[in-house]
């Protein structure tokens, strides 16, 4: 079993949300945090806000790149090295998915 911590976070646009954090431990250590205001019926001007973070707390062979193409579209790439990194990232992404689904207060297929 693992401890889940509840946090208050203020996003860059000033939105306050509740997030949930846990550690994912194997040969490497990750800290993962996620939260959302849920659906609010709109786009970025009026809709909900969602957030997630994955932090290497030791021993993780992880590289993250961000880029913007010529049309202004952004992308995020994550490169992992090692079997434990694959295992812990799967668990981290499952936690993020669960938090976002649970906090969205909608039925997700």
**What does the pLDDT profile of the chain (109 residues) look like in tens digits?**
789 999 999 999 999 999 999 999 999 999 999 999 999 888 877 789 999 999 999 999 999 999 999 999 999 999 999 999 999 999 999 999 999 999 997 655 5
If DSSP codes are grouped into helix, strand and coil, which group holds residue 61?
A: coil
pLDDT at residue 43 in the model: 83
Which is it for the CA torsion 23, 75, 15, 95, positive or negative? negative
* Domain encompassing residue 47: 5-104
Q: Six-digit token pair at 19?
A: 């997030």
Q: What is the pTM of this model?
A: 0.89
Q: Six-digit token pair at 32?
A: 């993962």
Q: 23 in a domain, yes or no?
A: yes
Q: 82 in a domain, yes or no?
A: yes
If DSSP codes are grouped into helix, strand and coil, which group holds residue 93?
A: helix
Q: Which residue shows structure tokens 């995020």?
A: 76
Q: Where are the beta strands (DSSP E) in 1-109?
A: 5-10, 16-25, 29-36, 50-58, 62-68, 74-80
If one counts the domains in the chain, the total is: 1
Q: 109 in a domain, yes or no?
A: no
């Amino acid at each position: 079993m693992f401890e889940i911590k509840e946090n208050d976070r203020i996003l860059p646009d000033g939105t306050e949300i509740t997030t949930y954090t846990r550690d994912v431990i194997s040969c490497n250590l990750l800290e993962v945090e996620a939260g959302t205001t849920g659906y609010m019926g709109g786009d970025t001007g009026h809709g909900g806000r969602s957030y997630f973070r994955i932090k290497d707390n030791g021993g993780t062979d992880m590289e993250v790149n961000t880029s913007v193409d010529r049309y202004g579209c952004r992308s995020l790439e994550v490169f992992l090295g090692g079997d434990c990194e694959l295992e812990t990232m799967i668990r981290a992404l499952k936690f993020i998915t669960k938090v976002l689904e649970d906090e969205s207060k909608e039925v997700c297929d």
